[in-house]
Amino acid sequence: MRLRDRRAACKPEVNIIPMIDIMFFLLVFFMMSTLYMVNIKTVDVNLPQAQHAETQMKVTYLVTMKADGSLWLEDQPIAEGELLRRAAAEQRRNPRFAVVVRADQGMDYGMVIGFLDKMKGAGVTRFALAAESGRS
């Protein structure tokens, strides 16, 4: 005497809960990995705003000048003489070498020009000044 139908007991099911968990994990993984791709390692400064500022992702040297006069190469503090020496060596090795200067908005304009003049004296000929995009 059979009480249950065997076909009804063996119906295949698709359990979607683990698939949703995996999709959320992948979503979070890609969101976090893209944050690290875009973010350039720098020191936080208050950059001036410019309406037509462009983002350059291929930067050889990213130099930050803080309002207190300190210099940073990417996210490491560096002495001016050491920075000039490294930049001159890199310029001799790579003729397309460029320096992007991120100067604090409240910094004295003469200090920025003085730094650029010293870089020019070290042989560096390609410069860019960083600004935040003022577009909405």
pLDDT tens readout for residues 54-85: 666 566 788 999 988 889 998 889 999 999 99
Cβ-based burial of 130 (10 A; exposed 0-12, middle 13-18, buried ≥19): buried
Residue 56: what pLDDT? 63
pTM: 0.61
Task: Please report the domains of the chain, with CATH numbers, ordered by start residue.
Answer: 6-38 (no CATH), 49-133 (3.30.420.270)
Burial per residue of 50-74, b for 16 or more beta-carbon CB atoms within 10 angstroms, e otherwise:
eeebeeeeeeebbbbbbeeeebbbe
Residue 132: what pLDDT? 81
Between CA 52 and CA 93 the distance in angstroms is: 32
Q: What is the dihedral of CA 110, 116, 120, 123, to 10 degrees?
A: 150
Between CA 68 and CA 129 the distance in angstroms is: 18
Residue 54: what pLDDT? 66
Residue 37: what pLDDT? 63
Tokens of 98: 């460029």
